[in-house]
Amino acid sequence: MDLGRLPKLKGLHKRAKRVGRGIGSGKGSHTTGRGQKGQKARTGYNLPVGFEGGQVPLYMKMPKRKGFVSSHRISRFIINLSDLERISEGKKITPFSLVELNLVKRVPEGGVKVLGSGTLTKKVILEGFTYSKSALEKITKLSGEAK
């Protein structure tokens, strides 16, 4: 069967009603489907969404949000080298072990970042963190590991 040979169905295309052409048009008479009087019945009616007839619209009454929050922001906790002084020397440290030691509340999506503020006197083995340049230098200076 060929789609080009299908018969045209009767009543498939309905003619649009011609509004504003009197009673015989089949669409009202003088109102032509616009109801009775009022702003919406007039010619050229085109008001913005949220317009409330001159009253201050609801979206203008709502409090405004200040600033900008990026949806691509990575949340991560920050810990300093001075905080790692409390942990015993040579022990392997992961972000989850910091939760057990109550140094961080939880491990967020972005993980935990180690910053280089403070002094480090012990050799530490860190795994699963992100590091600042100064923190990496101080850790490797004491022959520690940062994976």
31-49 pLDDT tens trace: 888 888 888 888 888 988 8
Average pLDDT over the chain, rounded to an integer: 86
49-100 pLDDT tens trace: 888 988 999 989 988 888 888 888 888 889 998 888 888 777 888 999 888 8
Q: How far apart are CA 138 and CA 117, in angstroms?
A: 10
Please name each of the domains of the chain with its CATH number.
77-146 (3.100.10.10)
Closest to 145 (Cα-Cα) out of 89, 78, 100: 89
